[in-house]
Amino acid sequence: MWLADRLANLLTGLGGPRDKGAGALHVHVPRPRHELDAAYRDNWLARKIVDVVPFDMLREWRQWQAPPEAVAAIEAAETRLRLREVLLRALRLARLHGGAAILIGDGAPDPAAPLRPEALPAGGLRYLHALGRDAVAPGAVERDPLSPWFGEPAAYTLAGGQPVHPSRVVRLIGAPVPEEAGGDAFGDSVLQALLEAIDQATSAAAHIAAMLPEAKQDVISVPGLSQALATEEGTRRLTERFGYAAAMKSMFGMLLLEGDGRSPEGERYQQKQLDFAGLPEVARLFLQTAAGAADIPVTRLLGQSPAGLDATGDADLRNYYDHVAARQAVELTPALARLDALLLRHALGRPAPEIWYAWRPLLQTSERDRAEIGRLRAETAALLARETLVPREVLAAGVEGWLVNAELFPGIEAAYRRAAPAGPR
């Protein structure tokens, strides 16, 4: 066995000095800021890869679980502070440059002092600002496990030199890089590992586009061509002749040549065409590679319907939306926890540990599907009522919550509030 393996390696070169992959070595080459900015501004694929995920993460936003008046106050506070807009900008900056931050302002004279939620009055938040990586510099990462800021920078410094306490900053990271791998408080741009695949995809399309003008070429064999081009007069006469010939072909759809087109003494006309049969698949392969590297399905990245028999793309979109939902829960919710505690104090004037929120689902069901789900739930509620398996008041409250949150009937929440004093709900 060992002899056979060794002979196979000698014959094929696999694992030996003839192996073309034996000398492959990964070398980290950081992409400079200006290259990342140029790719984002000039390359449509790089721009979509940076923008699509943050947009999808915030597209349906979140739904607060609280009494209607509290929800109205919280949503009004989010609108006044432009939270959704600021967060979208910060997420895009984080993906493009590797990191970004949201600065929380309460009008304190010393931003280096901690911002304590218990000391924040109603309406105490003044502004939220999205800051790029160059506008805020993180300090040394806190390594004391007993510190509440363990794993985060112990302080930040604004571009003007103003120190800021970490309680006033929401840190967002692009592509995380462990400290053991050379990372710092921020990370890498998502384009750092994707630009090669992006350039290959866009170059493939550009090369195919460059071939289009050459797709059909007229070839005319002219006897004595080199002798005619040897003098200025011969060149001029030949150029004028075929200029007139091209004009006649354009106007009349015919080309006049000297001779019968077959004999060596006469001019011969041929038309050659390029074969584009396999090129679309090549371009599609590079686009699929870039989409896979970005973790975005082609149907979402390119906005096109999937090709192929019985291909719907539903599985790809579901997997992608599940991925985005997981990132909302694992990355975005913890990052916003500090800001949300301040937001509830700002909107309600009190701590509200009983209030929570859920991210709305990204995969929206059709009207027909919602109606079918509603029918099944109504039948389930009717069965529970007939069998008296659930107390009437409890079941009525559950059905009310379902109808209000399902948004099947516009205005039903207000109608429930008006009807509440008339009798039991």
Residue of 94, 130, 126, 86 lying closest to 109 (CA atoms): 126
pLDDT reported for residue 87: 97
Residues 70 and 149 in one domain: yes
Taking a C-beta distance cutoff of 8 angstroms, is the pair 311, 318 a contact? no
Residues 93 and 155 in one domain: yes
Whole-Å CA distances, 425 to 380, 402, 422: 19, 14, 9
Q: Which residue has the higher pLDDT, 422 or 353?
A: 353
Q: Could you list the residue range(s) of the whole structural domain that residue 385 is in?
A: 366-422
| Interval 11-39 mean pLDDT | 76
Length of the chain, please? 425
In a domain, 50, yes or no: yes
Query: Residue 253: which region, alpha, beta or left (left: phi > 0; alpha: psi -120 to 50)?
Result: left
pLDDT reported for residue 20: 63
Residue of 153, 184, 183, 187 lying closest to 170 (CA atoms): 153
Within 345-421, strands assigned E span 356-359
As a three-state string, the secondary structure of 53-103 is HHHHHHCCCEEEECCHHHHHHHHHHHHHCCHHHHHHHHHHHHHHHCEEEEE
Taking a C-beta distance cutoff of 8 angstroms, is the pair 46, 290 a contact? no
The structure tokens listed for 91 are 């997420």
pLDDT reported for residue 339: 94
Q: With 0-12 CB in 10 A as exposed, 13-18 as middle and 19+ as buried, what is 224?
A: exposed
Output the CA torsion sign for 299, 304, 307, 312.
positive
Cα gap 267→253, rounded to integer Å: 18
Residues 86 and 158 in one domain: yes
Residues 173 and 223 in one domain: no
Cα gap 321→298, rounded to integer Å: 13
pLDDT reported for residue 4: 44
| Interval 184-191 mean pLDDT | 90
Q: Which of 10-14, 50-54, 270-274, 313-317 has the lowest mean pLDDT?
A: 10-14
Residues 68 and 164 in one domain: yes
What is the residue-averaged pLDDT of the chain? 83
In a domain, 289, yes or no: no
In a domain, 243, yes or no: yes
Query: SS3 of 417, please?
Result: helix
Q: Which residue has the higher pLDDT, 126 or 379?
A: 126
Residues 160 and 235 in one domain: no
CA atoms within 13 A of residue 19's CA, in its CB half-sphere:
12
Residues 386 and 255 in one domain: no
> How many structural domains is the chain composed of?
3
pLDDT reported for residue 180: 72
Output the CA torsion sign for 382, 384, 386, 388.
negative
Chain segment 257-290, per-residue pLDDT in tens: 776 666 666 777 767 776 777 778 888 888 889 9
pLDDT band at 12 (very low <50, low <70, confident <90, very high): low
pLDDT reported for residue 306: 55
Q: Which residue has the higher pLDDT, 238 or 92?
A: 92
104, β-bridge pairs: 128
Contacts of residue 201, defined as CB under 8 A and 6 or more positions apart, other chains included, come to: 45, 283, 286, 287, 289, 290
The structure tokens listed for 273 are 């065409």
Which strand (E) or helix (H) includes residue 287?
Answer: helix 279-294
pLDDT reported for residue 313: 55
Residue of 283, 281, 117 lying closest to 203 (CA atoms): 283
In a domain, 209, yes or no: no
In a domain, 316, yes or no: no
Angle between helices 33-42 and 83-97 (to 10 degrees): 120
| Interval 405-410 mean pLDDT | 74
Residues 51 and 167 in one domain: yes
pLDDT reported for residue 14: 59
pLDDT band at 164 (very low <50, low <70, confident <90, very high): very high
Residue of 348, 299, 313, 403 lying closest to 122 (CA atoms): 348
% of the chain at pLDDT higher than 70 = 86
In a domain, 295, yes or no: no
Residues 52 and 189 in one domain: yes
Q: In terms of pTM, does the model score above 0.85?
A: no
pLDDT reported for residue 156: 93
pLDDT at residue 183 tops 60: yes
Residues 246 and 375 in one domain: no
pLDDT at residue 363 tops 50: yes
pLDDT reported for residue 388: 83
Residues 39 and 141 in one domain: yes
Cα gap 145→4, rounded to integer Å: 56
Tell me which DSSP letter residue 364 carries: P
Residues 174 and 116 in one domain: yes
In a domain, 280, yes or no: no
pLDDT reported for residue 194: 92
pLDDT at residue 204 tops 80: yes
Q: State the Cα angle at 138 between 134 and 141, rounded to 5°.
A: 155
Cα gap 174→189, rounded to integer Å: 6
Cα gap 380→386, rounded to integer Å: 10
In a domain, 200, yes or no: no
The structure tokens listed for 49 are 């890869």
Q: State the Cα angle at 138 between 132 and 142, rounded to 5°.
A: 145
